[in-house]
Structure 1
Amino acid sequence: MRRDNLELEEGLQAIADFRRDLSKTPPSEVDLERVEGLVQERLNAIGRALMAEVLEHADVKSPEVTVNGKKWGNRRESPGTYYFKFGEVKVERSIYSPAGGGPVAVPLELRLGLVEGRYSPQVARLVCRIAGIMTAEEGATLLGDAGVAMLSSSTLKRLPKAVAARWEAGRDEINDELRSQERVPAAAVTVQVGLDGVMVPMDGENAKPRGRKTDCPKAPRHETRYGPTSLKCEAMEDGLDGRAWHEASVGTLAFYDEDGTELRTVYLGRMPETRMATLADDLELELHQVLGQRPDLDIVFASDGDKHQWEILEQIALRLPSGATGKVRFLLDFFHAAEHLGDAAALVHGSGAPECEVAASGWMSTLKHIDDGADRVLKKLRYHRDQLATQAKRDSMQEIIDYLAGNNSAGRLCYAEARAANKPIGTGVTEAACKTVANTRLKRSGMRFEHHGGQTAMAFRTAHLSGRFPLLMSILVQTYAANVQSGTAA
């Protein structure tokens, strides 16, 4: 009897034995937790036996095979280990090599699209989702508790990095396909485009373990293990050699209906990189795809006041598709403007004084609700600047005035008009993205990430948050499959 048939028979016999034992157990003595575990074990055993049969059925036994038009011969058999939700399956499978030797082809793996030559698509999908949600150690514990795809924490670290490296290698084509499948919410009338920076802890490139400084940074681990991923790490160019903390970037495209209600958000995230170059490109491509479907959408470019971020958004605005007909607005995040008004009130009245809160609230209300509110507030601030007792306070007030006046000159403080049109005046979606994309996943106590490891977590996390993860994994899994034919037929 074939091994897989024997294992299946043993599994079925175990089920029969279980049912017999259960029938003899008094109802009052049934231990549900133990029983459920036994059922899971027996079902997993049957699943492994059936998957072994699937593997043998999909294998090739002919002397030669053709893989994507290339001929392979010199067939022999070799043991292989594969991983399914039911557990580990070992089989003997055919391997082939070209004339003259060299690398081998395993038709079984290529025909079935086994990810990284070992893992079923469903296991790979599960592991990559875990990478975006939790640590590898937590993932291993969760899978153990669930009784499915019970893999080690080292595998839960290694496999997503390999899949993400494959994504990076083909990111232009893969991301184009992802975007092409997106549909703008039918009720949307506005898209807000925002980006922000967020500091993340790095390790393994310009810092020793746990962030200790070094004058001799080592090469990125992902380059030596997985090959280059077309990433240019800011840690090499931001003047902070040997430091653990560098600025990653997060971008959002948030859709709103005519009442100003958020409908959906697309999330983007990149590990530290010079001038946020990749994220800026991705943000622009996302917007162009959106406007290709809905050229009538109004566009709100929003940021917190960082000069470089505004340069990126303004450049994107200059290159909008010619067919875009919606109104374009630039808005400084209202919360950041309000923070500056609070600081100004503290200079005038003293921090914590009742008059301070009253003044700040009044200026905020003027800025938010009156069409020329920015001009009115700036006039008041200039008056109070001249009344301040010390030069240091006058200088501090002037910095606040310069900040608000610069944004006002750029047309970024038109909050009353935006509110009347039910447009978002804050970057809460983008600020929240910094927390949900980066902080929650990458900034727990003691964490450090090398560039590709951090990008792996951010990439799968943003795909999950954007609702793109199932399609992404479907595309990635397909890249592992090949056209395998027995014999020499092409």
Structure 2
Amino acid sequence: MGEEGFEGLERSLTEAFCEAQREVTAEALAGLDEDVPCLYIGGQRYRRAVRSKGRYLTAAGAVEVERTLYRSARSARSVAVLDVRAGVVAELWTPLAARQGAALVAHVTPQEAEGLLAELGHMRPSKSSLDRLPKVLGGAWEAEREGLEARLRAQTQVPEQAVSMAVSLDGVMVPMKEDQGAGQSAEGGAHAPGKKSVYREASCATLSFFDAEGKRLSSVRMARMPEAKKATLKAMLAAEVHEALGQRPELTVVKLADGAKDNWTYLDSVLPAGESVLDFYHAAEQLSEAFDAAYGQGSAKAGEYITKYRHILRHEPDGAKRVIRALRYQHQRHPRSERIAQVLQYFRNNRHRMRYHEMKARNLPIGSGVVEAACKTLVTQRLKRSGMRWRIPGGQAILTLRSWAQSGRFENGWEILAEAREQTVELPENVVPLRARRGR
């Protein structure tokens, strides 16, 4: 086997197969080329500009293909017909290579993806190419987002066993570049001297399906970069709910959120009728703070009352009423405690959303843990790495890809985007390819 042992044999075999794959792929790409004086791409007339070699990154590695570049009267940018026909992304990536690269940068930084691909030893894109890839894909998706999302929703089937669905939304702060113009997003490096970052609230939403026993079957996760009043995310979530109810109108809708007024204004006024439930764990946290204020944070007495009334709130039919009574008593004992007064008002304002005993008896969810987890896994784990600062386009491109991956929609999302990028190539009648002329 040689000095490198079996690993060396494996590497040699892999490289041999990849070399053969590159040769076949290069030949197939060349076969998609046209060398004619003029043609039409997407209905627009293009004239032959120059013939030159182009470098393409395939799943088996880089190849060079000689092709003809065309240019329209409306643009100085040259286009290769084989790029259009093959679905090449960013003038570099063949479709499978682009898909693999996009899946990687959805999960790790371009720098980390570059290292992983180098270890795998097939295609070796640069960090800058990996950084640009999601921006190109994200730009294409955002340009037709509403229509493409409608197709994606329609392809997602509500689980057959589902009897209820929980709808939640939340926010998470992300580091943004101070200027919000279009441009590159910074990943995995120290802040540039003189550049400031600010934190703004990105938004997450989830739609989760549950069976008759209260077991979660699946979830759709989505996220948007910061914008006023979470407008786009709210529209997306409403569309997801209506699509699900269009498929299964008998589903029980459960609206879950913390006590933020803006969330409930949207959930109660925009979404279809359903059960409104304040996240139990947020309510329990408020309760803990009130008893800590009454008896001293971390004291045995506070712990005793927290345990007692948390159980009452969760398990008793009149739990919210009894908690309010206990908080009113504590407020009378400590009339100067602003925290106790705030918690008492919090429970009074939300008591109609605290029917936890009833919800659990019906096997309906009472916690918004799914959307809180989405804030962490969709946003924090990828956009809040050391040194990162973002602009809207770059960050949204990553969030879109990650939401597909975490919702089981990557396959469908990729196919829909590929179809949206397709353009027709038409040759004028009676046009003879230049290479054929030269051969006469």
Name the % identity. 36
Query: Deviation at 1:136?
Result: 0.6
Please tell me the residue identity of whatever aligns with 2:262.
H
Q: 2:221 maps to which residue?
A: 267
SS at match of 1:482: coil
Query: Quick check: 1:295 aligned with 2:249?
Result: yes
SS at match of 2:336: helix
The alpha-carbon distance between structure 1 residues 248 and 142, as it changes in their structure 2 partners (threshold 3 A), is: same
Query: Deviation at 1:222?
Result: 5.8
Q: 1:399 maps to which residue?
A: 342
After superposing the two structures, state which structure 1 stretch, 105-114 or 194-203, moved more: 105-114
Query: Quick check: 1:179 aligned with 2:125?
Result: no
After superposing the two structures, state which structure 1 stretch, 283-292 or 306-315, moved more: 306-315
CA contact (8 A) 1:131 1:456 kept: no
Distance (Å, rounded) in 2 between the aligned partners of 1:99 and 1:454: 34
Partner residue of 1:220 out of 177, 182, 188: 182
Distance (Å, rounded) in 1 between the aligned partners of 2:374 and 2:77: 44
SS at match of 2:31: helix
Query: Deviation at 1:99?
Result: 6.8
Structure 2 length as normaliser, TM-score?
0.90
Query: Quick check: 1:455 aligned with 2:381?
Result: no
Distance (Å, rounded) in 1 between the aligned partners of 2:202 and 2:27: 47
Structure-to-structure mapping, 1:8-407, within 5 angstroms: 25=2, 31-74=5-48, 76-98=50-72, 103-203=77-177, 206=178, 217=179, 219-221=181-183, 244-317=198-271, 320=272, 328-388=274-334, 391-393=335-337, 395-407=338-350
SS at match of 1:244: strand
Distance (Å, rounded) in 2 between the aligned partners of 1:358 and 1:98: 77
CA contact (8 A) 2:205 2:237 kept: yes
Q: CA RMSD in A?
A: 2.2
The ranges of structure 1 where at least 4 consecutive aligned residues each deviate by more than 4 angstroms after the TM superposition are 98-103
SS at match of 1:467: coil
Please tell me the residue identity of whatever aligns with 1:375.
K
Deviations 1:295-343 (A, max 9, x none): 10001111111111111212223xx3xxxxxx71101100011011111
Deviations 1:10-56 (A, max 9, x none): xxxxxxxxxxxx5xx5xxx5612223222222222222211111112
| Structure 2 residue runs without a partner (length 5+) | 186-195, 432-440
| Structure 1 residue runs without a partner (length 5+) | 1-21, 207-216, 224-241, 321-326
CA contact (8 A) 1:200 1:245 kept: yes
Distance (Å, rounded) in 1 between the aligned partners of 2:274 and 2:374: 23
CA contact (8 A) 1:63 1:487 kept: no
SS at match of 1:357: helix
Q: 1:5 maps to which residue?
A: none
Deviations 1:200-248 (A, max 9, x none): 1112xx2xxxxxxxxxx4633269xxxxxxxxxxxxxxxxxx6511111
Distance (Å, rounded) in 1 between the aligned partners of 2:51 and 2:208: 54
CA contact (8 A) 1:58 1:111 kept: yes
Q: 2:434 maps to which residue?
A: none
The alpha-carbon distance between structure 1 residues 479 and 338, as it changes in their structure 2 partners (threshold 3 A), is: same
SS at match of 1:258: coil
Please tell me the residue identity of whatever aligns with 1:36.
E
Query: Deviation at 1:489?
Result: 8.0
Distance (Å, rounded) in 2 between the aligned partners of 1:101 and 1:433: 42
CA contact (8 A) 1:67 1:484 kept: yes
CA contact (8 A) 1:62 1:487 kept: no
Q: 2:406 maps to which residue?
A: 465
Distance (Å, rounded) in 2 between the aligned partners of 1:392 and 1:34: 76
Q: 1:212 maps to which residue?
A: none
Q: 2:429 maps to which residue?
A: 488
SS at match of 1:58: coil
SS at match of 2:226: coil
SS at match of 1:479: helix
CA contact (8 A) 2:180 2:391 kept: no
Distance (Å, rounded) in 2 between the aligned partners of 1:458 and 1:190: 27
Query: Deviation at 1:367?
Result: 1.2
Q: 1:443 maps to which residue?
A: 384
The alpha-carbon distance between structure 1 residues 385 and 375, as it changes in their structure 2 partners (threshold 3 A), is: same
Distance (Å, rounded) in 2 between the aligned partners of 1:279 and 1:196: 10
The alpha-carbon distance between structure 1 residues 112 and 36, as it changes in their structure 2 partners (threshold 3 A), is: same
Structure 1 length as normaliser, TM-score?
0.82
Please tell me the residue identity of whatever aligns with 2:340.
M
Distance (Å, rounded) in 2 between the aligned partners of 1:362 and 1:101: 72
CA contact (8 A) 1:96 1:104 kept: yes
Distance (Å, rounded) in 2 between the aligned partners of 1:339 and 1:61: 70
Deviations 1:166-219 (A, max 9, x none): 11111011111100101000000111000001111112xx2xxxxxxxxxx463
Give the length in aligned residue pairs: 422
